[in-house]
Amino acid sequence: ALTSQFCLSTSTIRSACTAAIGQLTTQSSSSFKQALWESCRVQARPSLDELAERIESKLSWDDLVLPPLQRGILEEISAHVRQKATVYENWGFAAKNRRGLGITALFSGPSGTGKTLAAGVLANELNLDLYKIELSSVVSKYIGETEKNLQRIFDAAESGGTILLFDEADSIFGKRSEVNDSKDRNANLEVSYLLQRMESYSGLAILTTNLQSNLDSAFMRRLRFVAQFSFPDATHREKIWQRIFPPKTPTQGLA
């Protein structure tokens, strides 16, 4: 599980092991596995902390209120990430073809319908870091700089099997257009580079958008999962209100 999820250098592996041993208060196998996993996560963070925003999430499946279809899609995404080592390595699929081994998902729907929250639940359940990509730090007016910024992010994320969250993805994964000038050509090159890099990324990449129709059709064909988030109906809103308050909140008398 560790070797399939984390791609660390020899020195970083030594540091992770040393840190994990130092954290142990008991020598049980389960606590050591957990300490080693957490240590690997921490060791992989520095290279990405400078490039994206890490989102901490303590939410679980119980905090997520969604219709059965959307809930099922998220659970299937979780299962794919958990079992990818078995399928790719033990069953030999990676030996046949190294392309397209990553897992990509699109969360589409209006603002405030739980897309980012769902990504946080997945990260917490999978015990992986979630990094939100700020487009302002990626997109550049200078030719070639956007691709370089994206390469740094993907390369840094590879080491820790990080979950990447591209918010408002339509602004960077937009449709390619007919080339009329150098700006059009450069924009198309950026989209083409993203297509290539998304296919080669071994981790989970989540795209969120309010405007699914604006995404390039080539991206849509490469997405393994698409979940539509709609505004919750009265039944789901009631469940959200019931779960929104912490246990210590005085809720007596609230209807």
Q: How far apart are the first and last CA of the chain?
A: 47
Burial (CB < 10 A; 0-12, 13-18, 19+), residue 250, is exposed
- Among 239, 119, 128, 236, which residue's Cα sits nearest to residue 169? 119
**pLDDT tens readout for residues 106-118:** 999 888 889 999 9
Tell me the three state secondary structure of residue 24: coil
pLDDT at residue 142 above 90? no
Angle at 32 between CA 26 and CA 33, to 5 degrees: 155
pLDDT of residue 52: 86
> Distance of CA 161 to CAs 1, 88, 154, 205, 219, Å?
11, 15, 10, 10, 21
pLDDT at residue 229 above 80? yes
The Cα 88–Cα 81 span in angstroms is 11
**pLDDT tens readout for residues 15-73:** 999 988 887 765 555 688 888 999 998 888 887 888 888 999 888 998 889 999 999 99
Global model pTM greater than 0.85? no
Phi and psi angles of residue 142, each rounded to the nearest 5 degrees, phi first:
-85, 135
